[in-house]
Amino acid sequence: MMIDLATASIELRHLRYFVAVAQTLHFGRAAERLGITQPVLSDQIRRLETLLGVQLLYRTKRVVQLTEPGRIFLADVLQVLAQTDTAIATVRRAAQGKFGKLVIGYTGPALYTVLPEIVRTFRDRNPNVELTLQENCTPQQEAALLADEIQVGFLHPPIDAPVKLQTVLQEPLIVALPENHPLAARSTLSINDLAYESFILFPRTVGPHLYGQILSLCTQAGFTPKVVQEVTPQPTMVGLVAAGIGIAFVATSMQKISRPGVVYRKLQEETPILQLAMAWKDDQKSPVLDSFLTVVNDWETAEK
């Protein structure tokens, strides 16, 4: 494609100068509006006409008028300047993290605790950011972070990926029981009370560290748990508890889910802690991600 070198030399300031004169039809008032001297303005308008090879304005000592080409040019220039202003505003919003895309990974416990309020606050502050939320277990989020498929994840440490971690919540596990279970009559339970129970657990691959902690707790009490089913997510586990399939260790936040036929009890012993952390690649930070991290930090400050 051939480029007209003369046209390429036209700058936005030339267009803004022309618009000011075309709208006021007075070089003095236009120069005052632009904050430049009248001779400089006259010189720049002449330069614009020279570059275009077209007379845009008819002027005498008393009159300034648009020529027919000038009227046509004015309409197009106003559109160009409007589009330019829009583009400038957009890129500035993007630089401030107020425009763009953000993909967030999360596990079930995040959805029942911290995530809704954080996302709601972020959307209120940044309505033009396109948000996508993906529910995945911790190993899947770890892989997605490394592949840049998500920009931030809410997952359960520890993980091996070289990413930044920030703990946002810690909650002990509790026991979910069918409401007609004999142990449901007690206000608290001992791990020894569960020795002969059928356990519903999440697969080891979903959370190997926490899975190992649960097995270790049982082993220290002198038994190996009888695992009858391994499922995810936690609401499914609670549903199986309601069906009488067995008991389950779940996060404390699962009590917020209204599920008939299920009761929750604390253990007398120190139970494993489900840690929820926010993870992101520090070398891949963007203005949108920075804005999201600010919202999370503000939320944490308000919670303290």
Average pLDDT over residues 116-136: 93
- In the chain the domains, ranked by start, together with CATH numbers, are 5-95 (1.10.10.10), 101-304 (3.40.190.290)
pLDDT for residue 5: 39
In single-letter form, the type of residue at position 169 comes to: L
pLDDT for residue 2: 36
| Residue 195 vs residue 6, higher pLDDT | 195
Band (pLDDT 50/70/90 cuts) for residue 279 is very high
Pairing of strands 64-66, 57-59: antiparallel
pLDDT 10s digits, 213-233: 999 999 999 999 999 999 988
